[in-house]
Amino acid sequence: MECTKCDKDAVMHAAYSGNYLCETHFLRSVERRVRRRVREDDLLPETATPEDPETWVVGLSGGKDSVVLTDILQDTFAEDPRVEMVALTIHEGIEGYRDESLDACVDLVEDLGLRHEVVAYADEFDLEMDDVAEQDPENMAPCAYCGVFRRDILSRYAEELGADKLLTGHNLDDEAETALMNVLEGNVEQMAKHFDASIGAFDERQDVEGMIPRAKPLRDVPEKEVALYAQLRELPVHMAECPHASESFRGTLQDLLLDLEEHHPGTRHSIMAGYEEFAALAAEKYRGDADDDAESVGECSECGAPTTREVCRKCYLVDAVHAAE
């Protein structure tokens, strides 16, 4: 087939838009969507100046999503004195997985000339995810521990690095899966958190518990297109999946969405369009509740992190893993 925009051979067909695109027009269309997101989500406010630039911390795992996001952002903002970018990689201690993906990260940041910080669970918590999965003192999925540890590192390091925004590489499929999951689980509070963690206007979110605003500039790009972009640009990407991945419900939704998309192109986009409105209403409601609860937030007696308990969830889990050793 010929490209819809020129007479070259198409490398892809986007059923949801009806477009066939050649390599050049495809690459351009992905980049345009990311830049539009940066604009529409107001990532770069007018207050950012060469004298007082914004610091963006980009979560870089070495997987295709974060590699493509980092590459496009650096391509767009490397010469812009209003933005300083730092790539942050978390090393969980997963044999045969993280070392390889760290290599991909190092290749990329060297290529782009980007500042890179690597933070390891071993140094931070004196544990590795492989041991956590084996000990499993709380009888949970490995990802349930890992998510708590990761969030702790992201928020502490984002603060330490002086981040104005924390950017992650979630793509359209990830976001539509999370949206569906929240709806099917009837979890309105989670919808509110999801909204505050990625979608909607920053100025309304600035004061959510002093949280550093998150952004997901890749959230309009389907997963397949992210993979094709990485392949065509020959970006260093680590493809393997974490051996502890076990999100079975998410996996089911992933299959369901792919099937829906095949028979009803555009489903992911329409899910997100409607969901964002719902989630905004949910966020408004829960923000009000959070203000009421704010007084009960104290400091963790072990690490000083904000928590409503004596010891925060992260310290509780770290202690539980060490006690089981």
Residues engaged in binding ligand SF4 (CB under 6 A): 92, 129, 142-143, 146-147, 242, 244-245
Supply the minimum distance, in Å, between the C-beta of residue 92 and ligand SF4: 5
Binds 129, which of Zn ion, ligand SF4, none (CB < 5 to 8 A, cut-off by type)?
A: ligand SF4
Tokens of 42: 């107001």
- Hey, what amino acid is at 235? L
Binds 37, which of ligand SF4, Zn ion, none (CB < 5 to 8 A, cut-off by type)?
A: none
Binds 142, which of ligand SF4, Zn ion, none (CB < 5 to 8 A, cut-off by type)?
A: ligand SF4
Supply the minimum distance, in Å, between the C-beta of residue 233 and ligand SF4: 25
Tokens of 281: 């209403």
Euclidean distance between CA atoms 235 and 104, whole angstroms: 9
CA nearest 173: which of 207, 130, 222, 213? Answer: 222
Give 257 or 312: the residue with its C-beta nearer to Zn ion.
312
Tokens of 259: 């099937």
Give 95 or 111: the residue with its C-beta nearer to ligand SF4.
95
DSSP letters for 137-158: TT---HHHHHHHHHHHHHHHHH
Per-residue burial over 307-323, b if 16 or more Cβ lie within 10 Å, else e, is beeebbbbbbbbeebee
Give 105 or 146: the residue with its C-beta nearer to ligand SF4.
146
- Beta partners for 2? 9
Supply the minimum distance, in Å, between the C-beta of residue 19 and ligand SF4: 33
* Residues of this chain that bind Zn ion (CB under 5 A): 300, 302-303, 305, 312, 315
Euclidean distance between CA atoms 288 and 276, whole angstroms: 18
Give 206 or 301: the residue with its C-beta nearer to Zn ion.
301
Supply the minimum distance, in Å, between the C-beta of residue 301 and Zn ion: 8
Tokens of 140: 């949970």
Q: Are 109 and 101 in contact (CB under 8 A)?
A: no
Burial of 7 per CB tally in 10 Å (0-12, 13-18, 19+): exposed
Give 243 or 306: the residue with its C-beta nearer to Zn ion.
306
Give 11 or 146: the residue with its C-beta nearer to ligand SF4.
146
Supply the minimum distance, in Å, between the C-beta of residue 156 and ligand SF4: 17
Binds 43, which of ligand SF4, Zn ion, none (CB < 5 to 8 A, cut-off by type)?
A: none
Supply the minimum distance, in Å, between the C-beta of residue 150 and ligand SF4: 7
Binds 300, which of Zn ion, ligand SF4, none (CB < 5 to 8 A, cut-off by type)?
A: Zn ion
